Structure 1
Amino acid sequence: MADTITFVDHAQPVLPPGEYVITTTQTITESPEPFPATRRFTVSADRFSLAAGRVTAVFPPDGSLGDHRNVLPHVMLDRPTLPWERSSGDDEQPPSGDVRPWLVLLLFTQSQRPDPKVVRLADLGAGPAYFPATPLEAHQSPEDQATVIDVPRGVLEEILPSAAELPYLAHLRRTEGAPDVAVVLGNRLPSADEPSTAHLVSVEGRYRADGFDLGPGGPDSLVRLVSLASWRFACVAENQNFAALVRDLAQHGSPLRLADSGNAAADGLLRQGQVPVRHTLRQGGSTVSWYRGPLTTGPVALSPLPATRSSDGLLRFHPDIGMFEAGYAAAWELGRLLALQSTDYATALYDWKRRRSQKRLRAALEPATGYPLDVPDIDDTLPDTVRTWLTGLAGLAGVPLMYLVPDERLLPVESIRFVSLDQQWIRHLLDGAFSIGRLTAADAELDRAGPPVDRATVVTGALIRSGVVSGYPGLVVEAFAEGHDGPLEEVGTIRLTPDIMLCLFAGTLNRLDVRQRPEAVHFAVELPAAGRFGKSLRNPDGESGPVLAPLPLGPGGRLPIGDLISGIAATLGVETLGSGDFARQMIETAERVTFLSS
């Protein structure tokens, strides 16, 4: 993915929402009267709710715990024109020529957090909370619903941006090779002492010449806002930011194995990543056997695939310690069970095997009869349904976590494990899935070559268990081989649980880079002293530039956007700044942490 980002002030729609009339007149030379025609149409757009998927990303991530004290939250929207499709109510444009958006991102502390509720559009103005009369558009019904929050007037007076600040709190982000997105930026820093809740609200028509229309009443009177999206996050210790969380993984990096036990025979298996697990035998008895999943501490030699008709044939017995090794048997049985669970795959495979047998029988009969059989040719091409499903299984798609990490001690909290993929385990897994319809020894011999699935011969990767996996959903993990600049081909990235991720690559991994996606580039300030903030600026070439003199924070951690704009312009020696220029100065680039595999 390209990392080049362009910040654009705004993008207005060609036709704003509203009612339109088109009138055309046709004049015919032979007719004294013209022929007029009038057509009416409506341009609709999001207003009281957002369509599903309209919000593409938020920062800080929903539910994240990190050091967000100096971060200005933001939300990304998939339609580039969305923040400027309606009017905030103040038609006077700022000197920079920017357009004021109708969307505002408000940040509430836990003690201020409003309770969202759903009301009919007909009831927006009902109740004690103030909401100005708002005519509905042609495509809207009084029975339609909207999510609203009722906020004390005193709180809104403290956190709402002024009309002059609005243009700088929305911009267009253009990433090379990706669709344009609109970004709406908050104007308040999160509290370090309590959780924060962000609400993207509509301010359509709410700004007047003297500021936002708060309605009558005192500081405790309620003002109603339409909430279009919301999420929560919290600030914790200073070392809980992205870079610190990822670097801490290196302190808990070790092979995917348990510690030695003191028994030489058992320690040899433990060093291979084997763990003792409970094993129920087919006859009904129970014992303890060794098990290792597909993730190993190093490469594993391949051996010929046996003609297996039952997983019991893959059990290995270690007489020196009197225990079975059940890893390959479990892989074969798991593959068969997953195949039976997938009705489409199992049916398609069985039908294909029947056609394959019929074609082989025909090939054997034709020489014996001396003439071609008068039957249609049989197509024994492996169906795409079967090939696709097996390819996904080869990348461990659908394999339960307990088969990958059979003992929690293998992968403690906040740890990373560099692993190799045991191709012999994968072959047995695929063979089990391929065994549907395998009834006789002849069937097993036909299947002995294994399913014809292309896969890398050497696969390595990393298994990560960390809050950074859940806290940063857009995580990018890239692997590099020794002496090569280009990344290895990705075999698959699987989120096994909210905080466990497995990344596999074709080839031998030597270096692993963990970084945030470009859309995770966020906006932040420096906090040199209590109650003050500063910012390291950028020169036109993108390199580090002058440092803005510290400014006082407003009430409740609100940034004085007007003073900040003036300070940046004066420091850089420019007359005006657009919202794109402001965003470019406020960003913190996506961080990257590199691991070297030992």
Structure 2
Amino acid sequence: MLSSNDKIDKGTLKLQSFSRPPLTAGTYTVNAGMEVNSTGEQKVPANFNNIGLSFTITAPRFSLETALIHSVFPLAGSKGAYEAAMPHIILNRKTLPWECAVTNKDGDCRPWLYVLLLNEQELTKDAVKEIKLKEVMNPTAGVSLPDIKLTDEEKLKDDKIKVLEIPAALFKSIAPLKDELDYLAHTRQVDATDRYNKDKEQKKDNNAGWLSVLAGNRLPTVGDLNTAFLVSLEGYGSFIDNTRTIATGNVRLVVMKQWAFKVQGASFSNLLDQLNGNAQDFKMEIKNPADKPLSTGIINAVKFGYTMVNHGRRDGKQAASWYRGPLVPVKISVPAVHAYKSADNALRLDKDTAAFDISYAAAWQLGRFLALENPGFFGGISNWKNTFKQEKPISIARDLITKPRIVDREELPPIINLQDLEPTIKEIESDEVLTDYVIELWNRSKK
């Protein structure tokens, strides 16, 4: 099992089966006593009164703070081809799924949180309710309650919590077995350098980059609105272990998080399959309202997938230019130049139509935006430019004053030997000062 102090390389991911805390939530008592065995004439008491100290370890039992939730999948309210996706939730605390116990048995280290998925037919309108925390364990006709005990503080709380009541038979048919719970939770470590690069305190946090993941055990129903519930299994260990039978009525589950999504539309692979099946020759109809004959250049451009777009030029003038996207299924020749210093360098003039082709210029500009959006790339370019600015003046200085000079076709010795220049360069910290120094020496050499 990995330690929270383990370092992780950038761009890598580490997985581990669990991250159990040393102690689960609950009240513990530490008893201290002393016994003395003595010999000789002096009598010493053999036993002393034991001293006990109780302490409580707390964990979120009935609700989750928003800060503890990293993300959910599928996204709440989204629509997509999720028919093969297990709904899951990612939490910002790596030990959270193991901080409470499913049963009161010693050594029960199974995850106590579970992602329950229901479709429209299974989820009735009155299944989700809000009740007071102090009433969560109040007996209700036909409703089975978890085998848990509220603390004295919880018995007095009027805070509203959310519960889910579904038929016991339905829960029994979809709930994971005791040996399956371990496979529905894990922890992972990711590199969090970029995420916390502005927060020095987060950098010192050994748990930064550690996350816990809880996944459901059902696939969503296609065409339906599917609702995922992060529910607590605390106190339901006997039900999952088949030692407790609930044949009728409903089961009450505490809801920690709820989100809904819809399985709708084709997946990307399905769309590609349909595209291949319906592929036809590329055709574009040219409309000429003036009924004037079109030039050969325009006809050829349209055949090759180009279209006219509005083009705001650098000089402020508006023009119409040709543009062709990268996915148009027509093969064209690749230009000889593959490197451009700016978007304008990638502009090409079509002599047949006297219009610019902005396809490569648009691609260059898009690539620059994507690069600048990447923190790692942007930081690398900035470091390279700063290093280049620092090194170039020194390089110029060495070339100017350490190499032989040609004056009136006569080769003269260098202004200064390289060995004499090295101490001077080391003492000078400013590039501007060094440049001024070199210029002054150069001016002197010309006199």
Query: TM-score under structure 1 normalisation?
Result: 0.41
The CA distance in 2 between the partners of 1:253 and 1:98, in whole Å, is 55
User: Which amino acid is the alignment partner of residue 116 of structure 2?
Assistant: L
Of 394, 398, 421, 1:363 maps to 398
Coordinate RMSD, CA, aligned: 6.1
1:16 maps to which residue? 24
- CA deviations 1:124-163 (Å, max 9, x no partner) are 689x99989952488x898897751465xxx535633289
1:226–1:66 CA distance, 2 compared to 1 (3 A): same
- Unaligned 5+ runs, structure 2: 1-16, 190-210, 287-293, 403-413, 431-447
Of 222, 227, 230, 1:200 maps to 230
Secondary structure of the corresponding residue to residue 201 of structure 1 = strand
1:157–1:285 CA distance, 2 compared to 1 (3 A): same
Please tell me whether the aligned partners of residues 176 and 217 of structure 2 are also in contact (alpha carbons under 8 angstroms). Answer: no
2:317 maps to which residue? 285
- CA deviations 1:305-358 (Å, max 9, x no partner) are 57x5x7545532222111112234445666777889999858756644532442
Q: Say if 2:250 is the partner of 1:250.
A: no
1:21–1:298 CA distance, 2 compared to 1 (3 A): farther
Please tell me whether the aligned partners of residues 114 and 149 of structure 1 are also in contact (alpha carbons under 8 angstroms). Answer: no
The CA distance in 1 between the partners of 2:268 and 2:371, in whole Å, is 39
- Unaligned 5+ runs, structure 1: 1-7, 92-96, 216-222, 381-598
Of 376, 398, 422, 2:426 maps to 376
1:369–1:137 CA distance, 2 compared to 1 (3 A): farther
1:230 maps to which residue? 258
How do 1:58-137 residues align onto structure 2 when only pairs under 5 Å count? 63-65=78-80, 75=88, 82=97, 85-87=100-102, 103=114, 105=116, 107-109=118-120, 112-113=124-125, 121=133, 135-136=150-151
Please tell me whether the aligned partners of residues 199 and 229 of structure 1 are also in contact (alpha carbons under 8 angstroms). Answer: yes
Please tell me whether the aligned partners of residues 60 and 73 of structure 1 are also in contact (alpha carbons under 8 angstroms). Answer: no
The CA distance in 1 between the partners of 2:74 and 2:315, in whole Å, is 55
The CA distance in 2 between the partners of 1:377 and 1:264, in whole Å, is 68
The CA distance in 1 between the partners of 2:296 and 2:96, in whole Å, is 68
1:301–1:330 CA distance, 2 compared to 1 (3 A): closer
Please tell me whether the aligned partners of residues 97 and 185 of structure 2 are also in contact (alpha carbons under 8 angstroms). Answer: no
1:242–1:45 CA distance, 2 compared to 1 (3 A): farther
Secondary structure of the corresponding residue to residue 372 of structure 1 = helix
The CA distance in 1 between the partners of 2:392 and 2:354, in whole Å, is 42
Please tell me whether the aligned partners of residues 86 and 215 of structure 2 are also in contact (alpha carbons under 8 angstroms). Answer: no
User: Which amino acid is the alignment partner of residue 231 of structure 2?
Assistant: V
User: Which amino acid is the alignment partner of residue 277 of structure 2?
Assistant: Q
Deviation at 1:83, TM superposition (A): 7.1
Please tell me whether the aligned partners of residues 98 and 110 of structure 2 are also in contact (alpha carbons under 8 angstroms). Answer: no
Deviation at 1:279, TM superposition (A): 0.7
The CA distance in 2 between the partners of 1:55 and 1:323, in whole Å, is 51
User: Which amino acid is the alignment partner of residue 421 of structure 2?
Assistant: P
User: Which amino acid is the alignment partner of residue 226 of structure 1?
Assistant: V
The CA distance in 2 between the partners of 1:42 and 1:123, in whole Å, is 22
Q: Say if 2:334 is the partner of 1:303.
A: no
The CA distance in 2 between the partners of 1:174 and 1:193, in whole Å, is 28
Deviation at 1:289, TM superposition (A): 0.8
Please tell me whether the aligned partners of residues 20 and 109 of structure 2 are also in contact (alpha carbons under 8 angstroms). Answer: no
Please tell me whether the aligned partners of residues 103 and 234 of structure 2 are also in contact (alpha carbons under 8 angstroms). Answer: yes
Deviation at 1:202, TM superposition (A): 2.4
1:194–1:162 CA distance, 2 compared to 1 (3 A): closer
1:390 maps to which residue? none
Secondary structure of the corresponding residue to residue 389 of structure 2 = helix
The CA distance in 2 between the partners of 1:375 and 1:61, in whole Å, is 61
Q: Say if 2:333 is the partner of 1:321.
A: no
User: Which amino acid is the alignment partner of residue 124 of structure 2?
Assistant: Q
Deviation at 1:65, TM superposition (A): 4.7
The CA distance in 2 between the partners of 1:377 and 1:259, in whole Å, is 69
Secondary structure of the corresponding residue to residue 211 of structure 1 = coil
Query: TM-score under structure 2 normalisation?
Result: 0.52
1:530 maps to which residue? none
User: Which amino acid is the alignment partner of residue 334 of structure 2?
Assistant: V
How do 1:439-478 residues align onto structure 2 when only pairs under 5 Å count? none
How do 1:421-500 residues align onto structure 2 when only pairs under 5 Å count? none
Please tell me whether the aligned partners of residues 81 and 182 of structure 1 are also in contact (alpha carbons under 8 angstroms). Answer: no
User: Which amino acid is the alignment partner of residue 425 of structure 2?
Assistant: V
Q: Say if 2:133 is the partner of 1:148.
A: no
The CA distance in 1 between the partners of 2:267 and 2:77, in whole Å, is 15
Of 265, 276, 279, 2:308 maps to 276
Identity of aligned residues (%): 22
Secondary structure of the corresponding residue to residue 118 of structure 2 = strand
- CA deviations 1:512-558 (Å, max 9, x no partner) are xxxxxxxxxxxxxxxxxxxxxxxxxxxxxxxxxxxxxxxxxxxxxxx
Deviation at 1:277, TM superposition (A): 1.7
User: Which amino acid is the alignment partner of residue 16 of structure 1?
Assistant: T
1:191–1:361 CA distance, 2 compared to 1 (3 A): closer
User: Aligned pair count?
Assistant: 346
User: Which amino acid is the alignment partner of residue 232 of structure 1?
Assistant: A
1:348–1:228 CA distance, 2 compared to 1 (3 A): same
The CA distance in 1 between the partners of 2:226 and 2:248, in whole Å, is 25
Please tell me whether the aligned partners of residues 21 and 98 of structure 2 are also in contact (alpha carbons under 8 angstroms). Answer: no
Please tell me whether the aligned partners of residues 83 and 103 of structure 1 are also in contact (alpha carbons under 8 angstroms). Answer: no
User: Which amino acid is the alignment partner of residue 195 of structure 1?
Assistant: L
1:134–1:298 CA distance, 2 compared to 1 (3 A): farther
Larger radius of gyration: 2
